[in-house]
Amino acid sequence: MARPLYAFFLLFAATAAVARRRRRGRWPARAEIVDPKDGTTIDASGAVRSVQAADLTLTQEELDALWSPTQLERLARTYWRYLSRVTLGLIRVDYTDEQRTIVLVDRRLRLLRFRSPEYAMDADRGVVRWRIEDGVLVERRGHGGDGYLQIDVQRRAPAPDGRARIHVEVEVANFYPSIAKRFSRPVYTATQSRIHILVGHGFLRSLARLDLAESRVGRFAELGVGDVPDPPLAPTSPLP
Domain holding 44, by residue range, is 2-23+30-210
Asked whether residue 232 is assigned to any structural domain, the reply reads no
Any idea what the CATH number is for the domain that residue 15 is in? Answer: 3.30.530
C-alpha dist (Å) from residue 115 to 80, 96, 184, 196 = 14, 9, 28, 20
- Looking at residue 137, its pLDDT comes to 86
> Residue 13: what residue type?
A
* 128: three-class secondary structure by DSSP: strand
Asked if residue 87 lies in contact with residue 219, where contact means CB atoms within 8 angstroms, the answer is: no
Asked whether residue 219 is assigned to any structural domain, the reply reads no
- Looking at residue 167, its pLDDT comes to 97
Asked whether residue 238 is assigned to any structural domain, the reply reads no
- CA 146 to chain centroid: 16
Asked whether residue 217 is assigned to any structural domain, the reply reads no
Cα radius of gyration (the chain)? 18
Classify burial at 59, counting beta carbons within 10 Å of its beta carbon; exposed 0-12, middle 13-18, buried 19 or more: middle
Asked if residue 153 lies in contact with residue 75, where contact means CB atoms within 8 angstroms, the answer is: yes
Distance CA 1, CA 113 (A): 16
Structural domain tally of the chain? 1
DSSP code, position 51: E
> Residue 230: what residue type?
D
Can you give the three-state secondary structure of 158-193, one letter per residue? CCCCCCEEEEEEEEEEEECEHHHHHCCHHHHHHHHH
Asked if residue 18 lies in contact with residue 86, where contact means CB atoms within 8 angstroms, the answer is: yes
Distance CA 188, CA 194 (A): 8
Q: From first to last of its 240 residues, what are the pLDDT tens digits of the chain?
A: 445 554 555 455 545 544 544 544 568 899 999 999 888 998 888 889 999 999 999 999 999 999 999 999 999 999 999 999 988 888 888 888 788 899 888 777 888 899 989 999 888 999 999 999 988 888 866 555 689 999 999 999 999 999 999 999 999 999 888 887 777 888 878 878 888 899 999 999 999 999 999 987 767 766 666 666 665 554 444 443
Asked whether residue 235 is assigned to any structural domain, the reply reads no
- Looking at residue 54, its pLDDT comes to 97
Beta strands in the chain (DSSP E): 30-33, 40-42, 48-58, 91-95, 99-104, 110-115, 118-121, 125-134, 148-156, 164-175
Which residues are 101's β-sheet partners? 94, 113
* 194: three-class secondary structure by DSSP: helix
* Global pTM value: 0.83
